[in-house]
Copies of this chain bind each other. A is one copy, B any other.
Amino acid sequence: MLGGQILHGGDYNPDQWLDCPEVLEEDVRLMKEANVNCVSLGIFAWAALEPEEGRYEFDWLEKIIDRLGEEGIQVVLATPSGAMPHWLTQKYPETMQVQADGKRNLPGKRHNFCYTSPVMREKIYQIDSALSERFGRKENVILWHLSNELGGNFADSSCHCELCQEAFRNWLKEKYGTLDNLNRAYWSTFWSHTYTDWSQLHSPAPHGETTMTALTLDWKRFVTYQMSDFVRTETAAVRTHSDLPVTTNFMYFFKGLDYGKMRDDLDIISWDNYPFWHKTKDEVPVAVRAAANHNIMRSLKKQPFLLMESTPSAVSWREFNPIKRPGMHMLSSMQAIAHGSDSVQYFQWRKGRGAYEKFHGAVVDHKNGSNTRTFRQVTELGERLRNISGLVDGTVNRPKAAMIFDWENWWALEDASGPRLDISYIDCILDHYQAFWEAGIDTDFLNMDDSLEGYAVVAAPLNYMYKPGYAEKVRRFVEGGGIYVTTYFSGIVDDTDLCFTGHHPLADVLGLEQEEIDAPSGDFPNAFRYGEKEYPAGSLRELIHASEETKVHSVYEEDYVKGEPVVTEHRYGKGAAWYIAAEPDMEFLRSFYGDRLKEAGVQNALGTDLPYGVTVAERMGSDGRSLVFVMNFRNEAVTVRGTGKWADAESEKTYDGSLMLGAFECLVLRK
């Protein structure tokens, strides 16, 4: 566990207050009061660290690090590439991004840098290695925080300048070798877009190409590749005088970069979590969304991760920004720990006085010092985290269930023209995941590149793209006894978005062939029966043909597809492959996955059904036994029955047969 304890603290920007020494001194005092043990320094501080080209001013930073050290507060040290100083953009305008429309940005906002620009890379390398030299071996510095929310640039996360175009072309050459290969992969005969010279290749643009889906896909891959390359430049720089681990903070369902490709360049995964609590009275969809993101982060390295940012009260950038109701800050933070975080960090320690984020929630507000609801809630959480630090182990549990969640599938699926334009991969993923969450079953989220070994159940909804080798992997998984669930509009294209012809790549495993997919209007409902109930067939409905050995569990009840299969099961090897041909609703998914989990013998830690709003998650405890986090996301007390005997891990309390949870309460239990 990094720093030997669960980290509690957050982004700290003393560079905004250098002319107010009394504020800085108050900060340290308040941090102690709030049970803060770790802060992130230097994010967006380039202008303060290098006020003019080549002149580094690090003394102020050292003074603060030392002062924090005296008080036992650890430091996550950032590299400053998240925002560019004016001297840099003025002297080297080529370091600024060019947008898809071909226009070079002016200075401003953040993440405005071209990740290809040699000048940008040189300047960041120089300051990063200077930071490494000065601070890389400081006792209370524990982690490098590379840049900040990479790709979060108020635009499409990418730079379209000529340097990037050239790098893209080289990346394509490397990938395809010949234009013939590329043309075939791009199906470029369509609309006569055959490339006859590498120099004709250009990033997708509103005034240029947007209809060659494989090009769009490759451009997104290149952006991840090039950003990773930039990250490696920063890593090399901080490694010049330091062997501290590196991380960079990821974002919430961020489509701009394939985090699956970036994980290997990082020692620790960290991310920023801003759920929209209190959007409606029903907090479950928000809790599920946050849980899914936590699991994605944990699954990237199958290690604990760091919650690098969260708000202690409200954010400021949504249409409306509710303040967390009492209990929600504790619950939301404990949810992170439950799903594998080793920290609860905030953006931000103290609200700045000016500019864009001055109303974003912070531990310390503009007024009232420690005398605020928010400060007290933070303090209380800090105490609980300190107590819990000794209970959790530095590894994670390995769940028996997994979902396929793959960025490249996301990109390709949602760029497709047809059968609907409003298909949301994330919404579909979350619907399926919610069935697991409600059942209290922990679930990994896997790239198609990941191994399926060790899982009992794997769900792959809307698995439109099949990467090379993926079908074989699934085949082995089912053969070996796994239960595999997939849906309509899966297995459609290969990794350059070319449609499969002949047969579905898993036709033998699924025991079926797809014929056509209907995207009807709401005026044309359909339904199917599963078990005792009838469920609606949603807005996408495939017509499939099951093989003879395939068991058809449900058929369409209406319309021209009446009697055709919807839910099928095909035994293959020791396992079974299930197919859901029509878009299902939440109620069906609950029932369906309930059955699959029962078949697979996968149970939640409490061994009982959970009331709506309650879930459980397990973490390896430091004593080798599981710690069970029981969380109530309803704003009222609930009772969980049939739970057996449990001991409260944080108190002397014991429970027998049932658990009573208060509104937004989280219990941590041990057998």
A→B interface (CB under 8 Å): 13, 15-16, 18-19, 44-48, 51-52, 80, 82-87, 90, 99, 101-110, 154, 184-197, 199-200, 202, 205, 207-214, 278-281, 313-323, 325-326, 351-360, 365-368, 372-374, 416-422, 496-504, 513-521, 523-524, 539, 543, 559-560
Shortest distance between the CB of A218 and any CB in chain B (Å): 12
Q: Are A359 and B108 interface neighbours, CB within 8 A?
A: no
Instruction: Enumerate chain B residues within 8 angstroms of A82, measured Cβ to Cβ.
Output: 191
Task: Report which of B18, B109, B211, B321 forms a contact with A211, defined as CB distance below 8 A.
Answer: B109
| B355 and A191 contact, CB distance less than 8 A | yes
Nearest CB in chain B to that of A80: its residue: B192
Residues of B close to A200: CB separation below 8 A:
86, 90, 107
Taking a contact as CB atoms under 8 Å apart, the answer to whether A352 and B190 are in contact is yes
Contacts of A211 in B (CB 8 A): 108-110, 355-356
Evaluate contact between A421 and B319: CB separation under 8 angstroms: yes
3 A-B pairs with the lowest CB-CB distances in the bound complex, closest first:
A187-B354, A316-B418, A106-B208
Nearest CB of chain B from residue A207's CB, rounded to whole Å: 5
Closest to A208 in B: B106
Check A105–B367 contact: CB distance below 8 A: no
A540: shortest Cβ distance to chain B, in Å?
9
Apart from A211-B356, A365-B516, A368-B515, list 12 A-B contacts with CB within 8 A. Answer: A16-B187, A82-B191, A108-B202, A108-B210, A190-B355, A190-B357, A278-B523, A280-B523, A314-B518, A316-B418, A320-B539, A359-B416
Residue pair A187, B355 in contact (C-beta under 8 Å): yes
Closest to A415 in B: B356
Answer whether A16 and B189 are a contact pair too, CB < 8 Å, given A367-B514, A419-B320. Answer: yes
Partner of A367, one of B320, B323, B352, B513: B513
Q: Which residues from chain B contact A99 at a C-beta distance below 8 Å?
A: 207
Given A187-B358, A191-B83, check contact A103 B207 (CB 8 Å): yes
A374 to B560 CA separation, bound complex (whole angstroms): 13
Residue on B nearest A421 in the bound complex, by CB: B319
Residues of B within 8 A of A104 (CB): 207
Residues of B within 8 A of A422 (CB): 319-320
In the assembled complex, 21 residue pairs joining A and B whose CB atoms fall closer than 8 Å, in A order, are: A83-B192, A85-B192, A86-B200, A102-B106, A106-B205, A107-B209, A187-B358, A190-B352, A190-B354, A190-B355, A278-B521, A316-B418, A317-B417, A320-B420, A321-B418, A321-B419, A323-B517, A323-B520, A365-B515, A367-B504, A367-B513
Choose from B107, B191, B320, B419 the contact partner of A316 (Cβ within 8 Å): B419
Contact A190 B44 (CB under 8 A): yes
A84/B192 in contact, CB under 8 A: yes
Report the Cα distance A424→B671, complex, angstroms. Answer: 55
Q: How far is the CB of A443 from chain B (nearest CB, A)?
A: 28
Bound CA–CA A109/B190 (angstroms): 10
- With A190-B16, A356-B191, A499-B351 as known contacts, state yes or no: A103 contacts B105, CB within 8 Å: no
A355 and B209 alpha carbons, distance in the complex (Å): 11
Known: A214-B354, A355-B211. A46 touches B107 (CB 8 A): no
Cβ–Cβ < 8 Å partners of A352 in chain B? 187, 190
Contacts A90-B197, A323-B516, A420-B320 given; indicate if A353 touches B501 (C-beta within 8 A).
yes
Contact A194-B86, Cβ < 8 Å, known A109-B209, A354-B213, A419-B316: yes
A199-B353 in contact (CB<8A)? no
Tell me, in angstroms, the Cα distance from A664 to B512 when the chains sit together: 31
Complex Cα gap A365–B325 (Å) = 54
Which residue from B192, B321, B356, B374 sits with its C-beta under 8 Å from A190?
B356
The interface residues of chain B lying within 8 Å CB-to-CB of A520 are 278, 320, 322-323
Contacts of A109 in B (CB 8 A): 191, 208-211
Which residues on B sit within 8 Å (CB–CB) of A278?
Answer: 520-521, 523-524
A105 CB to nearest chain B CB (Å): 5
A494 to chain B, nearest CB (A): 9
Q: Which of A184, A208, A320 has the most CB of B within 10 A?
A: A320
Report how far A110 CA is from B192 CA in the complex, Å.
9
- With a cutoff of 8 Å between Cβ atoms, the chain B residues found around residue A504 in the complex are 367
Is the pair B213, A356 in contact by a Cβ cutoff of 8 Å?
Answer: yes
Closest CB in chain B relative to A431 CB, distance in Å: 18
Which of B193, B351, B516 is within 8 Å of A83, CB to CB?
Answer: B193
Give A357 to B352 CA distance when docked, in angstroms: 49
Is the pair B192, A47 in contact by a Cβ cutoff of 8 Å? Answer: yes
Q: How far is the CB of A225 from chain B (nearest CB, A)?
A: 22
Q: Which residues of B contact A318 (CB under 8 A)?
A: 421
Give CA–CA (A109, B192) in the complex, Å.
Answer: 9
Are B366 and A519 in contact, with the CB atoms below 8 A?
no
- The reply to whether A418 and B317 contact each other, CB–CB distance below 8 Å, is yes
A108 close to B360 (CB less than 8 A):
no
- How far apart sit A16 and B194, CA to CA, in the bound complex (Å)? 11
A359→B320 contact, CB < 8 A: no
Minimal beta-carbon separation of A58 from chain B (angstroms):
15
Residues A207 and B105 in contact in the complex (CB < 8 Å), given A416-B359, A523-B280:
yes
B359 with A107: CB separation less than 8 A = no
How far, in angstroms, from A323 to B518 measured CA to CA in the complex?
A: 5
User: B212 contacts A502, CB within 8 Å?
Assistant: no
Q: How far does the alpha carbon of A46 sit from the alpha carbon of B196 in the complex, in Å?
A: 13
Q: Is the CB of A366 within 8 A of B107?
A: no
A89 — nearest CB in chain B belongs to which residue? B200
- What chain B residues lie within 8 Å of A110 (beta carbons)? 191, 211
Measured CB to CB, the nearest residue on chain B to A315 is B418
Q: Are A108 and B193 in contact (CB under 8 A)?
A: yes
Is A191's CB under 8 angstroms from B44's CB?
yes
Is there an interface contact between A44 and B521, defined as CB atoms closer than 8 Å? no
Most chain B CB atoms below 10 A, which of A13, A355, A374: A355
